[in-house]
A = this chain, B = another copy of it.
Amino acid sequence: MVASQGSDAALPSSSSPGRPFDDPVYRAAVIDLLGAVGYGEISAFERLTADGRMAPTLEDKVALQGMASAQYLKIGPIVTRLGELGVEAYAVMEPFREAFDSFHAHTAPADWWESLVKAYVGDGLANDFYREIAGFLDTDTRDLVLSTLEDTGRSEFVVGRVRRGIEVEPRIGGRLALWGRRLMGEAVTQAQHVAAEREGIAELLGGGRVEGLDLGTVADMFTRITHRHIERMGRLGLAH
């Protein structure tokens, strides 16, 4: 399982789940992370639904609505957890609006095919990132973050749709391959902005604050995420 790729020694002891929160930097970073995940779900809901307007069939539209609804179900637990940590959940999400909204503004799909690929690639990238990071967090936070990854089989319908689309109209393949690269590029750009602006997250990722998590680990993590993106593009029948 990917989440345990960090060595077990790197994980805060599960017998004292409250302990890491005594460190104010760790606490701030987890709050930021949950805020980012929360706003990510909200904006994904909005984008998936808007993209569904381009769906060629009602069935396709409803499939994207299903992906959006799956995002919604994950917002509640994050809001609850942020409340338990003593912060106002929606206020914590605000600083991440700009990065997510920029990502979506720069990756507005031009047609249904681009919408489909974005839904699949975006979902996949977000899940990979959360799964990687979860392995380094305290038990409660890890379980919460991993729970947001469930039900993602919903996006698998995209694979069949895109492959059949390319069969029928082979020329879209080249354009969608470029599109996938652009999605990855924009995601990395926005993630870098967030890391630069939010000290807690930067400290968590590269500050040696959590045992086993340093800039080298983050580089490895990034390499794995990139590989998995390429695999996903391959499943769609697209060259990276």
- Using a CB–CB cutoff of 8 Å, the interface residues on chain A facing chain B are 39, 42, 45-46, 49-50, 52-53, 57-59, 61-62, 65-66, 68-69, 72-73, 75, 79, 90, 93-94
Known: A46-B49, A46-B61. 9 other contacts (CB 8 A): A42-B62, A42-B65, A46-B53, A46-B65, A50-B50, A57-B90, A58-B93, A62-B75, A62-B90
Distance in angstroms between the alpha carbons of A27 and B57 in the assembled complex: 25
Name the one of B46, B65, B94 contacting A52, with C-beta atoms under 8 angstroms: B46
Number of copies: 2
Contacts of A53 in B (CB 8 A): 46
Name the one of B49, B75, B90 contacting A45, with C-beta atoms under 8 angstroms: B49
Contacts of A50 in B (CB 8 A): 49-50
Distance in angstroms between the alpha carbons of A168 and B5 in the assembled complex: 54
Name the one of B58, B69, B93 contacting A69, with C-beta atoms under 8 angstroms: B69
Contacts of A42 in B (CB 8 A): 58, 61-62, 65
Taking A50-B49, A50-B50 as contacts, is the C-beta distance between A58 and B73 under 8 angstroms? no
Q: Which residue of B lies closest to A92 (CB)?
A: B58
Contacts of A58 in B (CB 8 A): 39, 42, 90, 93-94
Distance in angstroms between the alpha carbons of A72 and B72 in the assembled complex: 11
Distance in angstroms between the alpha carbons of A50 and B68 in the assembled complex: 13
